Structure 1
Amino acid sequence: MTGLRYVYAVCRPFRTPLQAQLTGVTGAPAALLHHHGLVAVVSTVPEADFCEEALKAHLEDLDWLAATARAHQGVVDALTTVTTPLPLRLATVFRDDSALRMMIEAREDDFRRLLDRLDGRVEWGVKVYLEPEPAEDEPAAAARPVSGRDYLRSRRERSHAQEERWQRAERFAHSLHGRLAERAEDVRLHRPQNSAISGTTGQNVLNAAYLVPRAHSEEFVELVDRTKDEAPGIRVELTGPWAAYSFSGEASGEQDEAATGAETGAETGAKTGVESGAESGKGPGEGR
């Protein structure tokens, strides 16, 4: 079976060995390809699953997407323990090592610039949710509205209360974001998640990523923890530390949307993005 070169990340050479028997997508072992003073972390994947047409079909399969995203992130996580990786998009493939080397040469300056910027830094994700209102018992017959006017007034009151709760959540999220941004070197605001797709309860008010020096991560985490009980009915979730997916220049809004349904608790799909085969009719790895 013909194989393609799947690329997880690009980094600088490092001395600490990767985890023994580290495997990636489709269970293939991860390997290192050195070129021009950079390292591409790769594995071999079957062309039958990662050619352009196959990827188009696979991207409609959330189970496949989630499994691939978990394997992709597993390799990047392992890299993060030994170096600063520059993660590439999910399903970035090349025809062979020669095509991969050509890509490294074409993007060498960008890779070095980004690696310099990300060195010693990690990404933290923060989400703010407006929790669902507690379910109310069905009112007793005597307490139910007895006229259309009473019914409409009750509806208006509930709508007004919900609007006030949402505005309070937005004010809290804005304030929290401002405090966190002061502790971060860079910020990315992602689109709020659709709870029907992600399966998460509550309405997502803030979905942000923060680039933080690793040495200052403890202070950042403590700041988030102190805010979790500030506003009843509002939930704050912190994830990380991650490789700097949101700051690598590899992810885009469209890819984030495509991968949202594949989230695995580690937010894998949303962070890596998805590269759906070749661009403009080119074969895998050609001209990318």
Structure 2
Amino acid sequence: MSGLRYVYAVCRPFGAPLQAQLTGVAGAPAKLLHHHGLIAVVSDVPVRDFAEEPLHAHLEDLDWLSATARGHQQVIDALTAVTTPLPLRLATVFRDDSGVRVMIEEREDDFRRTLDRLQGRVEWGVKVYVEPQAEAAESAEPAEPAKPASGRDYLRRRRMQARAQDDTWQRAERFAGRLHSLLSEHADAARLHAPQNSALSRASGQNVLNAAYLVPRSDSEEFVEIVDRTKGQEPGMRVELTGPWAAYSFVDFEAEQAGEHEKAGEHQEAGEREKDSVEGGS
């Protein structure tokens, strides 16, 4: 066997050409496989890396995983510029084109329903962080003697610090809640994700809002302006906007699992959403 078929996304036929010399995972060119009025965007990948056993080993290699995620996202970004793709998970592979066609036939109704729902829409990501200096300022000890006069004084200081930190988080949660409500009113759908671990994302501050919003392309400029107006509204809070992305957060679970009937061959997962790997967890 010369290679396996890596599947990036499923979409409807589109008129605009993909960018010239578009390459994806393992540096392979992306190709369009037409079947039943749908398109699977695929490329060839080597068996030595993407068969079941070596793939499981590679998923423990963060450098390999990051490079694969970048190649995957490069193709998804190119598709998002010309059409509405239904992105599949990282490392979705099949033995050959026949396996991809079977996948399309088995999930054709799911794919069409999801593409109808996503048509003309993109995903925007919004995160809110409590800046490190805000936490430090509100938890700093008051100007008192370096050593507490008694155990009672020490406990009082600790209680004051705890209350200050609680106040910061309550203020952050109120701000994040207001922002999420506002943005949800200007989106067709919204998803709340778990706050990101700062040690993994390498972003400064503590993440208190990690949300995705499904927005019509035609309304995206207004959505971005709304987010921009919120930046700097709340001292010590940082608002970050990313996108536009393919609508990863709004793909039906069943449709996202489309390849699970075949191993190496079978739908393979890499755990994290591809775009977060490319963002560097931002």
- Show the counterpart of 1:181: 184
Deviation at 1:81, TM superposition (A): 1.1
- Show the counterpart of 1:26: 26
- Show the counterpart of 1:64: 64
Match of 2:240 among 237, 254, 263: 237
Distance in structure 1 (CA, Å) of the matches to 2:27 and 2:230: 41
Superposed, which structure 2 residues align to 1:114-263 within 5 Å? 114-132=114-132, 133-134=135-136, 142-250=145-253, 258=272, 263=277
Stretches (4+) displaced over 6 A: 135-141
Residues 114 and 89 from structure 1, CA distance in 2 versus in 1: closer, same or farther, beyond 3 angstroms? same
Matched, 1:106 2:134: no
Distance in structure 2 (CA, Å) of the matches to 1:221 and 1:91: 32
Distance in structure 1 (CA, Å) of the matches to 2:87 and 2:143: 58
| TM-score, scaled to structure 2 | 0.88
% identical equivalent positions: 70
Deviation at 1:259, TM superposition (A): 5.4
**Which has the larger displacement, 257-266 or 213-222?**
257-266
Distance in structure 1 (CA, Å) of the matches to 2:242 and 2:166: 28
Question: Which residue identity lines up with residue 207 of structure 2 in the other structure?
Answer: N
Contact 1:129 1:235 in 2 (8 A): yes
RMSD after superposition = 2.4
Distance in structure 2 (CA, Å) of the matches to 1:47 and 1:81: 30
Distance in structure 2 (CA, Å) of the matches to 1:6 and 1:198: 27
Count of aligned pairs: 266
Distance in structure 2 (CA, Å) of the matches to 1:213 and 1:143: 57
- Which whole-Å deviations, capped at 9, do the CAs of 1:149-174 have from their partners, x for residues lacking one? 22211111111100110011001111
Distance in structure 1 (CA, Å) of the matches to 2:275 and 2:201: 6
Deviation at 1:256, TM superposition (A): 8.7
State the SS of the aligned residue for 1:99.
Answer: helix
Residues 203 and 56 from structure 1, CA distance in 2 versus in 1: closer, same or farther, beyond 3 angstroms? same
State the SS of the aligned residue for 2:235.
Answer: coil
Contact 1:198 1:260 in 2 (8 A): no
| TM-score, scaled to structure 1 | 0.86
Distance in structure 2 (CA, Å) of the matches to 1:129 and 1:256: 26
